Amino acid sequence: MNVGSTVLGYPRIGPRRELKRALEDYWAGRTPVAALESVASELRARTWAELAASGLDSLPGNTFSYYDQMLDTAVMVGAVPARYRGLGLSDVDTYFAMARGNDAVPPLEMTKWFDTNYHYLVPELGPDSVFSVADNKPLREYREALAQGVTTRPVVIGPVTFLLLSKASQEGFAPLGLLDRLLDAYEALLAALAEAGVEWVQLDEPAFCADRSPVELAALATAYERLGRLTNRPRILVASYFGTLGPALSVLAESPVEAISVDLVAGGLEGIASVTALQHKTVVAGVVDGRNVWRTDLNSALAKCATLLGSAARVEVSTSCSLLHVPYDVDAESNLDSAVLPRLAFARQKLAEVVLLGRALREGTDGVADELAAAAEAVRVRSGRDDRVRARVEALRPEDARRAEYATRARAQQERLKLPPLATTTIGSFPQTGEIRRARADFRAGRLGPNEYRRLMRAEIERVVRLQESIGLDVLVHGEPERNDMVQYFAELLDGFAATEFGWVQSYGSRCVRPPILFGDVSRPEPMTVEWAEYAQSRSERPVKGMLTGPTTILAWSFVRDDQPLGETARQVALALRDEVRDLEAAGIAVVQVDEPALRELLPLRERDRKEYLDWAVESFRLSTAGAADSTQIHTHLCYSEFGDVISAIDGLDADVTTIEAARSKMEVLDDLRAVGYGRGVGPGVYDIHSPRVPGEDEVVELLTAAVRVIPAERLWANPDCGLKTRGYAEVEAALTHMVAAAKKVRAQL
Ligand code: GLN
Ligand code: ZN
């Protein structure tokens, strides 16, 4: 029967983050490039050995990267902007200059990879861009694997997605116009691969899982018509992931490519059977979730594959996307909550699931009945159910998400807080010194007792409060020294979450995150932040902001249960936060900030799914905050400058004050807010905290002067773009001093 098994990609940072260490050692000049290369080739060899041993029929290749696959593709086709070429560096250092910048040049822009928490580097293309096969990394790695006896299918970003995700180096230029030129390079690439004996190549076109215009769909048709017609080429698998292909499915089915992958976790089988042209293709069925950590419901996955057999010439069982987005191996975990452990599958376990499904599909289920039954059991057992939480969510009424009119609240808050126009504040965190990190680590490891830990944290809070008072800020923060991460901190204190030891996932370059696993009903056994906020408030007459992370951001940066709608999970988290807000109020806190920096990140790729998402995201934020008294000022913070698609939702959050990234876009966001009728407080960031540069006072005066023309000063705040935890104290003190001086100056001119 025509059945196979494969996966679309594999993690590359190393099971113990070996690549991270090797990269950072090299960047810091501690090791020569040869040391980095040797770690890299060892990791590649291990990956190939593991994939080969898994029993998959076909293995992805070129899944390794020193930094990012989009950057690799740019370098592959020679799209290296002149400012990097001119540096006269070695190839690898030119590559790292593009990724990270150096004293002479800033890096390429970096942005989110679709709706994941992975970030890619944005290639820059202009009318003068020319392409060639400048660096045939796919072929190099194919040969390297072959020398090890492993045959791979090189994975490369497809030409159309490459152009759609690139940015124009000059205004008004559309990179898609370069398609013809780029296809010349891809033709040469495919010819070189075929020459070397490569049988299959995988071209990733995830951009077509988002809404695309007719022109873009036509570009897809052109691209695969041209590549498909080549006589000297490997067979082509066009991979799609993170959603359904929609109209792009028939475009690809009618092109001469041999195989198409569909994400059957994000989307269903609808519409697939009606694409009759698929009868002649291999369909790679992404039935094992490449983005989440749960064991697969094998029976239902099998049923999907079996249905597909009726619509395609061949079916290959696969993952929904590359396994890059999940950790390596559940078996590495020794401290995981036993309620959740048996339900987990990381990359290595997912390989086994795919292989098993392939076997079952080919040979029937008799030979694998035990495995299927065990999997069904693991999926059926749902631990972490909490009836009290469920009853509470059940009992929610619409008014629980509503506060009084803004005017009423604003009056009550002003009476209590007596803030000047253009009030000054910060976003929450202050620099995290080595000393603080050490104290946290020592406390975790039990080397530091709770009393001593508390003493150190309090001393730090005291210092941060004194600093803010001396700078003259109006609304203070405690500085968040006790938090390692704005989601992990809460996940560790809430019931329903588990933490892994080695569950690292690449976020960008050498940076990894270890998302908590939200597996059960969420509740708050005890207050999470009150102790620190209360202490900070006791050290000052000025208001201190309580600091929480919002429900959508907590979900976005965790692996989340998939047995109920996300909105339901968000409501549970919201109720826990609602109790925290109440407790903060009871402790005398008059201002509470609930951060939602990930609001935009989870926005569905397709327009038709957005309303439902924004409805629950907004509602859960409001549920967390609407229990507050009128006189409690609720802030929220978001850190993206392009808010186009979510601007009405931001208004819908109904926060009294919204602080928002704005420095890089020169306050443009204010016009956007005004356009949707936003009429509450707003704090457009007046300087970019991503760089160590200290803004001059005049520069901030200029921005604030522009801002008061759009928003009345009573509702306008002055604050940085985001938290200060990655900065140093010297910069922070100077920058905030300039900011406060600038606010005073503009205030005086009102
Ligand atoms: N309160 C957080 C901080 O200041 C907000 C971080 C964020 O927006 N990503 O660090
Ligand atoms: Zn931020």
pLDDT in tens, 322-369: 999 999 999 999 999 888 999 999 999 999 999 999 999 999 999 999
Q: How far is the CA of 476 from the centre of ligand 1 (A)?
A: 14
Q: Residue 542, class by beta-carbon neighbours within 10 Å (0-12 exposed, 13-18 middle, 19+ buried)?
A: middle
**Residues with Cβ within 5 Å of ion ligand 2?**
597, 639, 722
The reply to whether 332 and 239 lie within a common domain is yes
* Mean pLDDT, residues 451-456: 97
Closest among 492, 456, 592 to 534, alpha carbons compared = 592
The reply to whether 442 and 367 lie within a common domain is no
The reply to whether 417 and 338 lie within a common domain is no
pLDDT of 377 strictly over 90: no
Chain segment 681-702, per-residue pLDDT in tens: 999 999 989 888 899 999 999 9
Instruction: Return the pLDDT at 641.
Output: 63
Instruction: Return the pLDDT at 380.
Output: 81
pLDDT of 237 strictly over 80: yes
Q: What's the ipTM?
A: 0.99
pLDDT band at 278, cuts 50/70/90? very high
Q: Which residues are annotated as a binding site for L-homocysteine?
A: 427-429, 480, 595
The reply to whether 186 and 255 lie within a common domain is yes
* Mean pLDDT, residues 390-404: 97
Q: How far apart are the first and last CA of the chain?
A: 79
End residue of a domain, out of 380, 399, 430: 380
Closest among 443, 451, 453, 428 to 533, alpha carbons compared = 428
pLDDT of 383 strictly over 80: no
Q: Does some domain include residue 652?
A: yes
Q: Does some domain include residue 218?
A: yes
Closest among 623, 484, 643, 482 to 550, alpha carbons compared = 623
- For residue 173, the tally of other CB atoms under 10 A from its CB is 16
Distance CA 229, CA 16 (A): 44
Q: Does some domain include residue 338?
A: yes
Instruction: Return the pLDDT at 1.
Output: 65
Instruction: Return the pLDDT at 692.
Output: 83
Q: Record the tokens describing residue 93, joined without a space.
A: 């250092």
- To which H or E segment does residue 687 belong? none
Residues with CB under 6 A from ligand 1: 427-429, 480, 486, 547, 595, 597, 637, 639, 722-723, 725
pLDDT of 568 strictly over 80: yes
Which position has the higher pLDDT, 105 or 580?
580
Q: Record the tokens describing residue 31, joined without a space.
A: 């090791």
Distance CA 742, CA 704 (A): 8
pLDDT of 305 strictly over 80: yes
Tally of structural domains, the chain: 2
Name the residue at shortest CA distance from atom 9 of ligand 1: 597
Q: Does some domain include residue 682?
A: yes
HSE at residue 305, side-chain half, CA atoms within 13 A, is: 33
Count of helix runs (H) and strand runs (E) in the chain: 26, 24
Q: Does some domain include residue 398?
A: no
The reply to whether 372 and 419 lie within a common domain is no
Considering the chain, what is the average pLDDT of its residues? 96
Distance CA 296, CA 692 (A): 45
Instruction: Return the pLDDT at 432.
Output: 95
Tell me the ligand closest to 550's alpha carbon.
1
H-only helix segments in 527-632: 530-538, 551-556, 566-586, 610-625
Report residue 101: phi and psi, to 5°: 70, 175
| Contact (CB, 8 A) for 107 and 98 | yes
| Contact (CB, 8 A) for 350 and 7 | yes
Q: Which residues are annotated as a binding site?
A: 17-20, 112, 427-429, 480, 511-512, 557, 595, 601, 637, 639, 661, 722
Among the ranges given (92-106, 144-158, 658-672, 712-726), the one the predictor scored with the smallest mean pLDDT: 658-672
Please report the sign of the dihedral spanned by the C-alpha atoms of residue 402, residue 407, residue 408, residue 411. positive
The reply to whether 599 and 647 lie within a common domain is yes
Structural domain boundaries, residue 300: 18-380
Instruction: Return the pLDDT at 440.
Output: 97
Tell me the ligand closest to 483's alpha carbon.
1
DSSP symbols for 388-432:
HHHHHHHT--GGGG--S-HHHHHHHHHHHH-PPSSEE---SB---
Q: Residue 586: give its domain's CATH number.
A: 3.20.20.210
Chain segment 623-669, per-residue pLDDT in tens: 999 999 999 999 999 987 677 789 999 999 999 999 999 887 778 88
Q: Does some domain include residue 392?
A: no
Name the residue at shortest CA distance from atom 6 of ligand 1: 723
Report the catalytic residues: 690
Chain segment 50-82, per-residue pLDDT in tens: 999 999 999 999 999 999 999 999 999 999 999
The pTM of the full predicted model, rounded to 2 decimals, is: 0.95
Q: Which amino acid is at 649?
A: A
C-alpha distances out from residue 231 to 155, 201, 253, Å: 20, 15, 19
Instruction: Return the pLDDT at 18.
Output: 98
| Contact (CB, 8 A) for 533 and 512 | no
Provide the angle, in degrees to the nearest 10, between the axes of the packed helices 697-710 and 729-748.
50
The reply to whether 319 and 422 lie within a common domain is no
Provide the angle, in degrees to the nearest 10, between the axes of the packed helices 566-586 and 387-394.
90
The reply to whether 645 and 726 lie within a common domain is yes
Rg of the chain, C-alpha, whole Å: 27
| Contact (CB, 8 A) for 663 and 685 | yes
The reply to whether 489 and 539 lie within a common domain is yes
Q: Which amino acid is at 647?
A: I
| Three-state SS at 375 | helix
